[in-house]
């Protein structure tokens, strides 16, 4: 048998052709070198060209080191109000010691020969600025990526740092054009027409305090309002009373950021305020039968109110910005309350002192109010200057002043309005020595700064057991509002606050026996009705 012949063809090795593209060579940073040359050349041949690009471009906007040095010289000449041409730029580069780094006079001459005019200069400058922003984003992303692989890096701190750096880039990239006055006048007139239709001449968000609203016309859009007081003066109680007026009584969406107390503590205070129940009884649950009914009415009111609370501790300005934008966009929130400013931080940024950090926070709050076009109310602490101050008239001596604002004078500068809360009763002052007025249960709201109105004092009632502020003319005794089943006292025929009568409780009522039979809101798992 013949052996079969192996007819396998021999493979011939042929050279492999490799196509080398951008990806194989590696990525190049975003750049526009030709446009950079065109812009620099135009700046040296056009007399007033620099003014049209100065807001768009920084030396760091240029990818080429040569162009960066030349632009720095051009900017220095502009500051000196000196003429800008090839000779003056060359001389300025000599003074700065960067002429050789910039390519010398020969390179300057080449740049001016490339362009005939400054046509399309702004358009080209915008492209260069966009490329620079893209490079900044890439740099930040690489830094964050590197730290993300570091297992010793705290993730929350990394998120704050990343957010801060990106926010900084976005702020630099945002440029608002100058607006011709005509559309602004139209907007202002439109607001006046809307204000004219409102009762009581209220153009902003009403606080619910009549005397205060007469002076302020309500809290105005884009305003930063600082409400400051010493500890235990009732700062939180005041803003919660205001939040109750706005969201519960007026059905206006409102948000409260509480950095000091939890959501549960905040809600307990609101319940005490709305139900006219002693805050101690709310905490320990020792309520009478008719008080359980008052609680039921209050809870039903609060559940329907467009009130949003957040108790994130040590809230950063970046977190606040993110949450505030979402609240305004998704829920139509018309006012934000922050309790309180000194507990906020600016994570991801380095500061030499706490004063610098507080200054940035106050500036950021003002910027946020303008951006969202809503009033932002921030509580603030006062220093001990009030406690150490005395006067012949003790009432006047204990009143807070703008100089008492704690940690930063920037708070006073950035705020559109600064209000102080002063309760003479706290300092054992029960009577005004001048007028003889009884000061017990009195709280003064002192408007110390008001950019668009008068600075006056407003008197309110303060009821500490209910953590509540009221108008002086209001009488909100729960015995009159709800009626007492503990005695036979008559109910006021015309109570100032109209509240639905709570349902009558049977004689065998047991608050710990469950709630389904008493029309109380069911809560998960517990026997106590809240």
Dig out the tokens for 315 from the structure.
């809230």
Interatomic CA distance for residues 469 and 387, integer angstroms? 23
Q: Are 392 and 384 in contact (CB under 8 A)?
A: no
> Where in the sequence numbering do the catalytic residues fall?
260
Supply the Cα-derived Rg of the chain in whole angstroms.
33
Q: Which run of H or of E encompasses 143? A: helix 121-148
Q: Which residues contact 383 (CB under 8 A, 6 or more apart)?
A: 404, 405, 406
Largest CA distance in the chain: 138
Q: Hey, which bits of 218-310 come out as E strands?
A: 224-229, 254-258, 307-310
Dig out the tokens for 156 from the structure.
């929350």
Interatomic CA distance for residues 89 and 515, integer angstroms? 84
In 3D space, the residue among 150, 134, 189, 216 whose CA is nearest the CA of residue 452 turns out to be 216
Going across the sheet that includes 417-422, the strands are: 307-310, 254-258, 336-339, 376-381, 224-229, 417-422, 442-450, 457-463, 468-471
Burial of 84 (0-12, 13-18, 19+ CB in 10 A): buried
Phi then psi for 114, rounded to 5 degrees? -75, -25
Dig out the tokens for 393 from the structure.
């008239």
Looking only at the bridges linking them, the beta strands covering 336-339 and 376-381 are parallel
In 3D space, the residue among 198, 197, 227, 201 whose CA is nearest the CA of residue 214 turns out to be 201
Phi then psi for 412, rounded to 5 degrees? -60, -40
Going from the C-alpha of 358 to that of each of 236, 347, 364, the distances in angstroms are 20, 12, 10
Interatomic CA distance for residues 121 and 111, integer angstroms? 14
Interatomic CA distance for residues 400 and 338, integer angstroms? 20
Q: Are 92 and 164 in contact (CB under 8 A)?
A: no
Looking only at the bridges linking them, the beta strands covering 307-310 and 254-258 are parallel
Q: Which residues contact 453 (CB under 8 A, 6 or more apart)?
A: 215, 216, 217, 447
> Look-up: residue for tokens 């079969």?
4
């Amino acid at each position: 048998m013949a052996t079969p012949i192996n007819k396998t063809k021999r493979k011939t090795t042929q050279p492999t052709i490799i196509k080398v593209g951008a990806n194989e060579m590696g990525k190049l940073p975003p750049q526009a070198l030709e446009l950079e040359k065109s812009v620099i050349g135009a700046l040296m041949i056009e007399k007033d060209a620099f003014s049209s690009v100065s807001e768009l471009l920084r030396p760091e906007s240029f990818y080429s080191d040569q162009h960066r040095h030349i632009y720095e010289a051009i900017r220095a000449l502009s500051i000196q109000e000196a003429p800008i041409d090839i000779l003056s730029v060359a001389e300025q580069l000599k003074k700065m010691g960067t002429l050789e780094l910039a390519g010398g006079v020969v390179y300057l001459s080449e740049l001016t020969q490339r362009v005939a005019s400054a046509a399309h200069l702004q358009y080209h400058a915008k492209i260069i600025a966009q490329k620079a922003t893209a490079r900044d984003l890439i740099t930040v992303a690489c830094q964050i990526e590197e730290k993300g692989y570091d297992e010793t890096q705290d993730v929350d701190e990394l998120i704050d740092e990343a957010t801060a750096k990106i926010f900084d880039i976005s702020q630099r990239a945002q440029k608002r054009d100058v607006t011709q006055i005509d559309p602004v006048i139209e907007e202002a007139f439109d607001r006046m027409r809307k204000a004219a239709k409102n009762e009581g001449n209220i153009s902003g968000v009403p606080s619910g305090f009549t005397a205060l609203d007469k002076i302020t016309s309500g809290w105005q859009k884009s305003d930063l309002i600082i409400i400051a007081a010493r500890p235990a003066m009732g700062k939180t109680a005041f803003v919660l009373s205001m939040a109750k007026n706005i969201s519960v009584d007026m059905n206006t969406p409102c948000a409260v950021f509480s950095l000091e107390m939890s959501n549960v503590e905040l809600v307990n205070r609101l319940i005490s305020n709305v139900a006219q129940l002693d805050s101690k009884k709310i905490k320990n649950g020792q309520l009478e039968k008719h008080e359980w009914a008052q609680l039921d009415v209050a809870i039903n009111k609060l559940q329907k109110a467009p009130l949003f609370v957040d108790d994130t501790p040590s809230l950063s300005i970046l977190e606040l910005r993110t949450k505030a934008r979402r609240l305004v966009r998704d829920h139509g929130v018309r006012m934000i309350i922050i309790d309180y400013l000194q507990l906020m931080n600016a994570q991801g940024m380095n500061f030499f002192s706490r004063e610098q950090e507080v200054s940035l926070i106050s500036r950021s709050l003002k910027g946020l109010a303008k951006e969202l076009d809503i009033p932002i109310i921030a509580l603030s602490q006062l220093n001990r200057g009030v406690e150490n101050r005395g006067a012949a008239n003790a009432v006047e001596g204990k009143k807070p002043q703008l100089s008492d604002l704690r940690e930063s004078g920037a708070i006073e500068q950035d705020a559109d309005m600064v209000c102080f809360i002063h309760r003479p009763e706290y300092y054992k002052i029960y009577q005004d020595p001048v007028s003889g007025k009884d000061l017990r249960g009195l709280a003064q709201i002192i408007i110390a700064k008001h950019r668009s109105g008068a600075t006056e004092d407003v008197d309110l009632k303060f009821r500490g057991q209910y953590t509540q502020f009221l108008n002086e003319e209001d009488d909100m005794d729960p015995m009159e509002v709800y009626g007492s089943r503990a005695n036979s006292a008559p109910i006021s025929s015309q109570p100032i606050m109209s509240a639905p009568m709570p349902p009558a409780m049977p004689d065998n009522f047991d608050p710990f026996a469950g709630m389904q039979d008493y029309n109380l809101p069911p809560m998960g798992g517990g026997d106590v009705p809240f």
